[in-house]
Every structure is written in C-alpha cells, then in structure tokens.
Structure 1
C-alpha cells in the first residue's frame, strides 16, 4: 500500500508514531514478566494497553526491559511495507536473544499477525505466538500452549469484540493524555488499504463504558482523552428494547462526543479519524457547542483528483471533499485545525492528477499532513486488480513536491497564531530544556513557553511570539486579554 513515511507533524504526533515500550516496572515475586513493543497507529498503542490488562489479570508483571522478560510481544502494523520490515529486523534480533535464553516466548500481535497468519510460525519460524487484533483475551492460553512447544495461533476476526469491559493499563503514560477506543474494524473498502482484512468489520462499543472510562481517567488526574476509531463518524451503537423494558436506544458519534464532553469542562476531548463521506453537521455543531471539544479534525483526502479517488474507492469526489472543508470552516471558523493524509503515485495517477492534489492543498491549507508514496500491499483490491504503474522515481518526486507545499502551509497556518493567546494543556518539560514546558493548544499544535511556576496538567494561557513550521513559542499570561 504505502511506503515512505515522510511527514510534517506536530512534535506530539511524531512521538506517538515512534516505538513505544512498557515503562511500568513492577515489584513482583514469582511472576512472569511481559515486555511489549508497539508499532504503527494510535489504535495499536491503545491495543497494547488492553493486552497489558489481559496479561495482568493472568498474573503477569510488566517490565521495561527485554533482558529480564519471559514473554515479548510485538504489536505490529501492516499498513506499509517498511513497517513490516522494521518488525522483521526486530524479530531477528530477538531470535538471537532467544538462542541465549531458550525459554523466552516471542509473539507477534496485531495487523501484521493477521495478515501473515501462520507464515511467521511455519515458514519463517521467527515466533512462538501469532495473535490477531480480536484474540487478545486468548493470550494467556496461547502463552501456556507455546510453553509446551506447540504452535500457538489465534487470528479469528470477531463481529462483536470491542474489549469494552477491559480497563486498559496505561503504558508509558504522561498521566495527562490518554486514548479511548470507541470502535473496532472498518467497513470502508478503500482499494489501497489492508485494514478491513486485518481488523475486521466495523463494530461500535457501548457508549456508557466509554463515558465511564473517560470519567475514571479524569478522576485519576487525566485532562485529555482522544476517542479512537478507523472512522469515528460512522460510530453507531444500538440497544434493542426488551419486553417490558426501556425502548430501543441509539447513540451516534455526535451524541457520544457530547456525553464525553459533559463529564467535566476541564476534560479535553479529541477524536481520530474522520472519513469525509461520514462527517455530519451535527458533529461540527457539537464541537462548536463545547469549549472542551478541541477545534481540530484529522480529515484524510488521499488525493485531490476525482478519478483517482474513484479508483481508490474513497466514495467521494473532489467537489464533495471541498464542500465538507467549506462547511468545517463555516461552522468552526478559519482557526479550526485540519490535517490530512496524502498518497502520491497511486495506480494510474497522471501528472495532471498529481497537480490536482497540489491545488487541493493550496485550497485547504492544512495545518499538517501525513504524506506517503504509494506501494501496494498484498491482498488489497489495488494489488489484485490494479497495476502499480507509476515509476518509483516519479512517486518520490511527487512526494517531495507535496512535502514542500505542506511545509509552506504549516508555516503559514502557524503564523496565524502570532500575537494571539492560546489555551495550552501542559504535557511536560520541553525536549530541549527543562526550563521550558511543552503542551498542545486547541488545534493540536505544540506550544513551548518558560516553565515559571506552572506544572504538568495545568491549563496555561500563552501569548505566541514566534513560530516554526512545527512549533509555537511564547510566554504565559495570567488570563485571556480582553
């Protein structure tokens, strides 16, 4: 599907895309130790927190070092070939480690496990356990099976599993921000995407369990939650009426957003990802109604050309997408942060169609973007039916042009904040200096300012005095100026 992970992102999002390891070290006696690494999207990081909870319930302890682990899980991504290659390289290292420690159990979880299934066990013999995204409850049994020398596999995709009753263990947490998975799977059969085949069909989680999870996080001191789904706008939960009971209940995404926002005004709410075909005015008006719902939308376009969008099976065209952008700006204002995904060199894309992508970017002026050169993923409709006919050098040249345009737009959008006051949720010290603090504003942009007397978890008003294409820099003020 996609290669080249060149991006222009906020610093916070760059960190979210890096390797994450379990950081919680537990004092344990006679417990087996689990070490987890996560690769890929936010959903994978959220899933690792579910895995940790499942294994904790099975009396495992977590460790921050592979050197003293009894079980090592790699929670994997299959959306790009280079993501899989990174995991394969890591498995080679772990297999060398296993030669010195024969009792070590190695498992591959998630999308790569679902895509390759038993190949990792039978042909490559690199792992002891293969578990898909819907089989995490079965992991304790799979570990027991692997310990006897058997092949341990569960890649069954469920139409019901949402893990709604499992309280995630927050890994590598800053104690301020957290992810909440609201749905699993995807029904959008985009021709380039492997997700429907690795995560299964779409199903929505009970909204009351979502609200309770967010409420407990806020009670524990968290100040921001991000509601996660492959396509949050298609969230739809229904409880059928029972005889003599309450009538049927239906909750859509706009209603869920409101339910979470009403927990407390100091709990910020974000969400990702929105599909252009499904976002509604109700969602936008709900965002406008509540100050604690962040004024930011990740809104993937993938291409700016209608014919290419049709080949991608995105189910909207350029005009539809522009109308949605116009509606976002109309309801939420020009300050609303908008980011996107763009693929260059998709099957049959011409130079003129590439120019349509650049012109769409000029029209929207995204705050930042995830940008990729296309490469096909096995098993997708594009791999089966379309010819990957754009030369690699052309893909890369087009990608560089997209990156250059986005870099300019990121700078322009950040310059709009100069001289303005931003409400910033402090996430911790700046990477460059402990004398500065770092947080994000409403539009998901990183803001850096002098520490003074402020601390992690505070909301601070910051007057922006300078910026780069990725960061806003300023100084704290006591209150919003009139």
Structure 2
C-alpha cells in the first residue's frame, strides 16, 4: 500500500483542492504519510500569485532531488496554479518532477501517476470545456474535524491588471445551487459545524447560472437544483447573482452553526448580501473586503471597477446593517506607477476605514498579467519598503483599537485545538474571526467545542480570554 503527502501553498481555494486530492488518493487505497521524506508520492499544490510562493516551492521540491534518484519508485507531483501557468518552467528547473497537473485536471492525478510508471514527465494542463470540474463535487476530507471549505465557484471573469488567476483558473463557473447545499448537509452529518464558502468572487456567484436559464431551458430539468428554490419561485427569471439566496440556504442547514465566505469583490457587493448576512443566524459577523489601493487613479489602472469613496460608502452600509461587524482587507504597496501622493491617499482611506486587520502585500509582477509588462513604471524597492512600513503602522493602529474595544465582552469561541506555542493554552476563533487564547484550557480535548469566554486582554493580533463555560445550544454569545 503506497503512502502520500500533500504540501499546499497559497490560498483557501488551494487548501480545498488539496483536501479533494487527498480524497482521490485515499480512494485509490493510498494512506497519508507524516512527511515528504517518507512518502511514496509527494504532491505539491502550488500558488503563483506572488513570486515568493514560486521560490518557496522550487526550494522545497529541489530538496527531494537526491531522494528521487535513490528511490526510482518514488513519485513527485506538481499541481495547482503554478502547474497550470508555468508547466515548462517546472520541468526546466526541477527535471526530477514526474507529473504536472493543472487546476482543471486534479481529478486525473491517479491516472497520471499510473502513466508515470511508463512515461517520463507526464502532464495534463487541459482547460476543460468551460463547465465546473466534476471533481469539485467530490466531498473532500477536511483537514480539521469541525471546519470545512466549500467551493461554490471556480475561475474569475474580472481582469485585474495585477492578477494571474483568470489565466490559471479560467473563466468564472458556478456550481449548481443544490450541489452546494447537498455538500454542506453531508459535511454537517460528518460533524462539521463551520463552513467557509470559497470563490474568486463569491458575491457574483450564480450570475452565470441565471444567464444560462434565461437563454434556454432545454435540457435543464431541475431549475431549482441549478439556481435554488427562491429564484424559481419568484418567476421573474432575471439574470442576477444568487449569493444572498445561498447564504440563507446554507445558514439553514441543520448542524451548521457558523458560515463564512471569501472573497467578495467590492464592485459586485450589494445591499442584499449585507441583509442576508444580518438575517441568517449562522452567517458570521466577519467580512473580508479587499481595497487594494486608496488612489482612484491606481484603482482604475488596476481595473478594480470602483473608486475609493464608493468603497467607503459600501463599507459604511455594511456596518450599518450588520451589528458588530469585523472587516479585514487586502492592500498592495508599490503598484506600477504609484506616486507618493497616491500612496498617501491609500494611508488616508485606510485610516478612515478602521479595518480590524489588513493583509498588506508588496507588488509582485506576474508574467502574463497586464501590469507585469509595465517594467518602466516599477517603483523603487527602497521606496516600497518605506511605504510598506508606514502602511503597517496605520493598519496595526486601527487593529489594536478594535481589539482593545473587545476587552470585557463575552464571546463565543470555537476551539481549534492547542496553541502552536503552548500546549497548556487553547486557541479558537470568535464569530468575528478573532483569534483567542485561553490559558489553562485543554485545547486537544475540547477541539471543535463552542465555549463562552470573557475577553480579558488584547494583543496586536490576538485576544486573551477567560473561560466561562459552554453557551446555551444555538446561542451566539457576544455582548
């Protein structure tokens, strides 16, 4: 019986793909190994959003070169976005790799491994027929026993100048409404109580499905399964997103206590989504809202589809509808052509927005993207580093203030397990996705439990809590 090990780089979508890869390999009778050093098959599920992800992958895969030579029966598989976009570079820089499989073909890994016994450098980076990959409907094996990712769409129809995702993930394709709800029900039956809905642009979910129904109903026998019962019952058949309908449906699945989602696009965010978040008991008071820049000129160059003031108006609308909402964001520093005044506009808008936290990134040029070709506009690295540190001060100031404001509150904590640094401390998340440490609590025994805790102290990136006991069933303690 062969063993396997899967190493994941990148986003939650890759994490979810890796869970499905695990399910495929287990279905072939293979068993998980503890590390890449002992596995018969090592799978690297790669990311190509930023250059440092590429470099980390090549560093790790090349550490296996000597072992691959010593053990001819061992196999190395490279999957994911880097595999889809730069297949030739993989074999050039790491010729000991056996299989390269793109984002649309990960369901074929078992067949490709079988072919690798007879062929050298087996590859499948086909882009499919524009429909959803049937592998997505394979219920994965969640890495955690109480949380799971659920893919609701693949690909992206946006054309952000800095982003490689449309090239490596393809156009936006939504899964049938009923298939998603069915998967969540199956996960709940397995004991999963928190799900995170995944997509490159989740709040446009379903627009392609309703467009399909508007064009023709030939061969589509179950409109409710495809687009949901609310869409069918309204009788209008207009082209529209279905994300707010989906939030309500998933929130209503018995056994699901928390629903999260990532990532939405600000240009497509609608008031109906905020209303669904507020009205669906299981949907958490947590919103990731990627700003990217506070300069209108830079936003236009990025092709983001909104201005800074419009972003702020939507953020304020969300906070007015959803009580106690925590908001995080993404910001790129040093986008080609960014001036000092434009960066100052970003600092000003970020300060106004008062985010709970921010993922800040130094611009990374990606081959094949529009902005990657603007080499004459690249910002000096020293200037970028200075701006990055200044932005960090602003984001950490607002984040620390948001954390201090939670001291004294009673929060419902979902325990994820022991702290990575101290086995005598349990770690978990609030509904606002705040990390909370509970000293003297057995995190391993209580993994997956919902407990009440009073917040007694606040750090820059986490909170300290004092255990009070379990909340009443179905209650969401936060006061």
TM-score, normalised by the number of residues in structure 2: 0.89
1:34-433 correspondence to structure 2 within 5 Å: 34-121=4-91, 124-158=94-128, 159-162=130-133, 163-170=135-142, 173-236=143-206, 237-238=209-210, 240=213, 241-242=217-218, 250-251=227-228, 252-264=242-254, 266-333=256-323, 335-385=324-374, 387-433=376-422
**SS, match of residue 387 in structure 1:** helix
- Could you report, residue by residue, the CA deviation over 1:55-98 in whole angstroms, capped at 9, with x for unpaired residues? 22333333222233222110000011110001111121111211
Higher relative contact order (CA 8 A, sep 6+): 1
Cα 1:400–1:152 change in 2 (3 A) is: same
Aligned counterparts of 2:14 and 2:20: Cα–Cα separation in 1: 10
**SS, match of residue 133 in structure 1:** coil
Alignment match, 2:457:
466
Alignment match, 1:11:
none
Q: How many residue pairs align between the two structures? A: 449
Aligned counterparts of 2:390 and 2:362: Cα–Cα separation in 1: 11
Question: Would you say the 8 A contact 2:62–2:94 is kept in 1?
Answer: no
- Could you report, residue by residue, the CA deviation over 1:167-200 in whole angstroms, capped at 9, with x for unpaired residues? 2122xx2311111111111111100011111111
- Could you report, residue by residue, the CA deviation over 1:406-443 in whole angstroms, capped at 9, with x for unpaired residues? 11111001011011111111111233433332211111
**SS, match of residue 277 in structure 1:** helix
Aligned counterparts of 2:48 and 2:161: Cα–Cα separation in 1: 15
Alignment match, 1:8:
none
**SS, match of residue 378 in structure 1:** coil
- Could you report, residue by residue, the CA deviation over 1:320-368 in whole angstroms, capped at 9, with x for unpaired residues? 11111111111113x2111111111111111010001111111111111
Question: Would you say the 8 A contact 1:118–1:153 is kept in 2?
Answer: no
**SS, match of residue 414 in structure 2:** strand
Aligned counterparts of 1:190 and 1:452: Cα–Cα separation in 2: 45
- Could you report, residue by residue, the CA deviation over 1:124-177 in whole angstroms, capped at 9, with x for unpaired residues? 52411111011012212211222113331111123113334312122xx23111
Question: Would you say the 8 A contact 2:328–2:357 is kept in 1?
Answer: yes
Aligned counterparts of 2:94 and 2:70: Cα–Cα separation in 1: 19
Aligned counterparts of 1:266 and 1:73: Cα–Cα separation in 2: 31
Aligned counterparts of 1:481 and 1:274: Cα–Cα separation in 2: 25
**SS, match of residue 303 in structure 2:** coil
Give the root-mean-square deviation of aligned CA atoms.
Answer: 2.1
Deviation at 1:219, TM superposition (A): 1.9
Aligned counterparts of 2:425 and 2:46: Cα–Cα separation in 1: 34
**SS, match of residue 130 in structure 1:** strand
Cα 1:464–1:97 change in 2 (3 A) is: same
Question: Would you say the 8 A contact 1:95–1:126 is kept in 2?
Answer: yes
Cα 1:245–1:107 change in 2 (3 A) is: closer
**SS, match of residue 137 in structure 2:** coil
Question: Would you say the 8 A contact 1:301–1:321 is kept in 2?
Answer: yes
Aligned counterparts of 1:246 and 1:201: Cα–Cα separation in 2: 24
Structure 1: segments with no counterpart, 5+ residues: 1-30
Deviation at 1:463, TM superposition (A): 1.3
Range 405-414 or range 159-168, more displaced: 159-168
Cα 1:287–1:149 change in 2 (3 A) is: same
Structure 2: segments with no counterpart, 5+ residues: 229-241, 472-476
Range 367-376 or range 77-86, more displaced: 367-376
Question: Would you say the 8 A contact 2:192–2:256 is kept in 1?
Answer: no
Alignment match, 1:16:
none
Question: Would you say the 8 A contact 1:338–1:367 is kept in 2?
Answer: yes
